Structure 1
Amino acid sequence: MYVAESQDYTSVVPSPGPKVKFAVKSNLLYDAALTPNLGIEAEFGDCWSVSADWMCAWWGKRNVHRFWRVYGGELELRRWWHSQAGEMSLTGHHAGVYCQMLTYDLGFGSRGYQGDRWSHAVGLSYGYSLPLGRYFNIDFSIGIGCLWGEYKKYHIEDNCYVWRSTNNRRWFGPTKAEVSIVYVIGGKADKKGVVL
């Protein structure tokens, strides 16, 4: 009588994971300044991502001339360095290059500053994205670069906006600060592989 021997086969199969991972995020610093914002980030390859963010606020109270209008966006290319081999996507240290554009009208009492034409900035960023679970990260980032644009100074007189001067702004220094809550769509894939 012949008895077939049973054999156990264990194989390691790389986790396929999606080639592109998407995340949505919001900068809590802008939210604290009453400027709603939303961004999307797409990871590609093993260590690159590109993100686009937009913000918009339009608050006013004309009787005492409180005015807060700002809108604009940012585009950033990031290079990632994971803290350990096989770390989940969109976590770890990152450095990037970014460009920004925005327009604004900020009023304080009877004085105001209006950038009715686009102001621009370019710079370099560095940060760290801390995993909070499979779906969430908190992303810390700061950027230093050059900002330039034209703005107008005005004041309120007899309920009219009176132009005082047009100025050019040139600034080199911090132009970006981010503490963002990040939601990774579909969760983060472990790159170590799975055992079947």
Structure 2
Amino acid sequence: MSNRCQSSGTAFLQKLLLGVAVLLIGVSTSYRAEAQSVALKNNLAYDALLTPNLSMEVALGKQWTMDLQYGANFFFYEKNATSPNYKTKKWSHWMVQPELRYWFCEAFNGWFLGLHAQGGQANIGEISIPFVLQNKDQVMKNNRYEVDAFYGGGLAVGYQWLIAPRFSLEFELGAGYNRIHYNKFPCTTCGAKGSRGVADYVGPTKAAISLVFFLK
């Protein structure tokens, strides 16, 4: 992945990650409740896309929680284009996604609504991503894109089902908007940059089937 990062996008991602991390740490060390208040989660749907991930969620009250998910898969791809292991088709990326949730019954139980933000970087080749507004002619797969930064957010709905005293299953779907800053390369292996641009994405922003483990 390129080290050339669009300054405003990178600054946004750093502040987003730092702010949510501080909030999660502060709440997890100060909040006390008889019910579950802190959970670690793994999104199995994200794993299926070869993207290891981990989430932490903490209770902010009886019906409010804050969730933070991080996932990255850049280490699955060979960076040297001359290597026999180099793959022209790729979706190398990392992403952080904080989400504020309101639970209709109580925290970590039943239906919830989520408001999430997200941001990250990516290196994409031989893939046409649907819902990118500038991709109406579907020629995206004929190029490679180094995404300096993408950031946005959306709304989601989900359900959590308790299957054991410390384990739950969670299902969630969400949609929203992302702003994408990229460098476009005219082929999937060449290093000569063709153009620089900005794209808009409107569509699914979250899909999760998560295994939840309660720390306390």
What TM-score does the superposition give when structure 1 sets the normalisation length?
Answer: 0.74
Matched, 1:184 2:201: no
Query: Please, which of 37, 40, 58 is the counterpart of residue 21 of structure 1?
Result: 37
Spell out the pairing of 1:113-192 with structure 2 (5 A cutoff): 113-116=145-148, 118-156=149-187, 160-186=190-216
> For residues 182 and 100 of structure 1, what CA distance do their matches in structure 2 show?
21
Q: Does the Cα contact within 8 Å between 1:19 and 1:44 map onto a contact in 2?
A: no
Spell out the pairing of 1:6-17 with structure 2 (5 A cutoff): 17=33
SS at match of 1:142: strand
Q: Does the Cα contact within 8 Å between 1:69 and 1:106 map onto a contact in 2?
A: yes
Query: Please, which of 26, 51, 69 is the counterpart of residue 35 of structure 1?
Result: 51
Shift of 1:68: 4.0
Structure ranking higher in helix proportion: 2
SS at match of 2:46: helix
Please give the per-residue CA displacement for 1:21-58, whole angstroms capped at 9, x wherever unaligned: 10000111111111111110001221100011111112
Aligned residues: 164
> For residues 168 and 49 of structure 2, what CA distance do their matches in structure 1 show?
21
Query: Please, which of 58, 77, 85 is the counterpart of residue 60 of structure 1?
Result: 77
> For residues 172 and 114 of structure 1, what CA distance do their matches in structure 2 show?
19
Structure ranking higher in strand proportion: 1
Change (3 A) 1:68 1:174: closer
Shift of 1:20: 6.8
Task: Calculate percent identity across the aligned residue pairs.
Answer: 28
Matched, 1:104 2:104: no
> For residues 209 and 62 of structure 2, what CA distance do their matches in structure 1 show?
24
Change (3 A) 1:124 1:56: same
Shift of 1:98: 0.7
Q: Aligned partner of 1:60: which letter?
A: Y
Unaligned stretches of 5+ residues in structure 2: 1-31, 127-140
Query: Please, which of 110, 123, 146 is the counterpart of residue 92 of structure 1?
Result: 110
CA RMSD after TM alignment: 2.4
Larger Rg: 1
Q: Aligned partner of 2:172: which letter?
A: S
> For residues 102 and 158 of structure 2, what CA distance do their matches in structure 1 show?
10
> For residues 36 and 168 of structure 2, what CA distance do their matches in structure 1 show?
17
SS at match of 1:29: helix
Q: Does the Cα contact within 8 Å between 1:20 and 1:44 map onto a contact in 2?
A: no
> For residues 130 and 107 of structure 1, what CA distance do their matches in structure 2 show?
38
Please give the per-residue CA displacement for 1:80-109, whole angstroms capped at 9, x wherever unaligned: 012xxxx7x512000021100010002339
Change (3 A) 1:48 1:150: same
Shift of 1:172: 2.0
